[in-house]
Every structure is written in C-alpha cells, then in structure tokens.
Structure 1
Amino acid sequence: MASQRVEIASGGHADWSTPVRVDESILQGSYQGIFMCRFTFEGGAAHYLKMRIIGVDEMDNDGEVPSGFGALEFQDSDGDVLRGRTEWYRRDGVDRGTWTFASGTGKWKGAAGKVDMFLTYMADELGTKLPPSGPIRFIGFLEGTGELDAPQL
C-alpha cells in the first residue's frame, strides 16, 4: 500500500501526575492515557485500535498546555502493534498535535506517516482548579487527518 490519506477519531482519558514547578509560570507533569481509535483510510477501510500514550506536558498557571510530547502505542484485535510519537502545542486557542508513525508489527510493519491532530478535553471533575495539587483525570476526544503508509495492510 502506498501512502494514503487517513482520518483518525479517538476518545478516552488521560491522567496527569502531580506536576513539578519549573519556574513561576510553568509546571511540568507526566501523563498516561488510554484511548480507542478508529483509522479510516481513503478507500473506506476502517481499523480499530486501542492506544496507550505516555508523555510529559508543560502547563501554565491557568492550566493551559503550551507544549508536550509523548510515545504512542496502538494495538489492534489481532495483537499487531503500531508505534509513534506525538508533539503537542497550542495555537490560536486550539490544542493540536502531530502524530508521527515509524514502526509496527504484523500488518503495521513498515508503517510510516504523519497525522495532524486536534484535541478537545475536559477535567473529569467540574470546578477542578489548575494547576493541580495532585493527580487529575481528563476526558478527551482526538481527531485528525494525514498520510499513512502501511505496506502490510
């Protein structure tokens, strides 16, 4: 399969650890998320994968996240794995990310590509103040489009 357009839609949750203050305006904390994703290719074929993401976010005193990064690991119902990396950033008031894929197993072996993602999220508890003084859970929805070459599909 040559590189083709893919749409990704995903929902799930991520937990922030208690952050550490870097300076008076920025904190940094690790996070781990579990999501379910649908990859829909231009020909209509859909693949469902569970995703685990682990990374680090920077947050300001208002709880906004100007940047972050993470490792992505996807697994389909056959046990085949797709791996990637995400870079998060905030632009024009919107949380965005770039997912870069570079390896996999089984049908995802040799996969490579890049997808621009958008993130919408809410704290699990209403009224949660940020920055948090302890762990906090976020419920999120991710969506985006890009190119993915998965030669084994």
Structure 2
Amino acid sequence: MPMMIVALVAGLLFGSGLVVSGMIDPAKVLAFLDIAGNWDPSLAFVMAAAIPVAMIGFRASRSRSEPVCGGRFAAPTKSGPDGRLALGAVLFGAGWGLVGYCPGPALAALSYGDPATWLFVAAMVAGMAVRGLPVPGRATRSKA
C-alpha cells in the first residue's frame, strides 16, 4: 500500500508539472516542433529543467543497494539500441509530431474533456493492448 501512495503522489506531481508548464496543450508542443514557422522554445526549457532533477535522482540511487519503495532496481538488460527500440522511437516521434501528445500529457489532458484527446488515449490504450497479445512464431515475454 505505501508504494501505491508514493506512485500516486509521484503521478500527481508529474501531472501537475505538465499542467503548469502547459505541456498538455498539443498546440504548444507542435509549435516547438515548427522550427521553420512560429517556433515556441518553451518545451526545451521544460526539458532543460527536468534533466538536472533526474540527474539528482539517478546519482542518489547509485549510493543505495535497493530502492526506497521497491525490492530491487530494474536496470536495463541491453546495452545498446536494436531494431525494436528504433521502431518504437520512430512511432513515438511520429505520433508526437502528428498530434502533439505523448502518453503522460495525453492522460493529464483528459481533464479538458476534448473528444480528440479521448480518441487519442483510446487508440493509445488499444495499441498497448495489441502489443501485449502473443504473436504467432514469437516467444512471449515474461512479465517479471
């Protein structure tokens, strides 16, 4: 139960940051990507502010043998990019560039009640569900 409370607080903090920074407005994100037109650099400032905060957290985790709210650290098992990672990055970037949403801001923007946002989130959840289905000829991943 305490881990769920920590996750809830972290999610609320993250969502609040998205709202305060204006990153749940897809027009703001698309304006950042429009470098040849009416460019809005505010997303770069949000990212620049997030990097030091993440660095502090990663540095603090190095001195611990286990997480504060979990059993063990889940370090990446691969050391470099592969085809699946590249394809995922391309699909993520294309979706982000086409509609101005990625998963976190889209979930936070549901509070606006815009039908387009609800459609995006429904398609995102459907894609996640399809990804979880077993594919013939491929071993399924364990959910460790």
- What TM-score, normalized to structure 2? 0.21
Rg (Cα) greater in structure: 2
Higher strand share: 1
**Larger helix proportion, structure 1 or 2?**
2
> TM-score scaled to structure 1, two decimals?
0.20
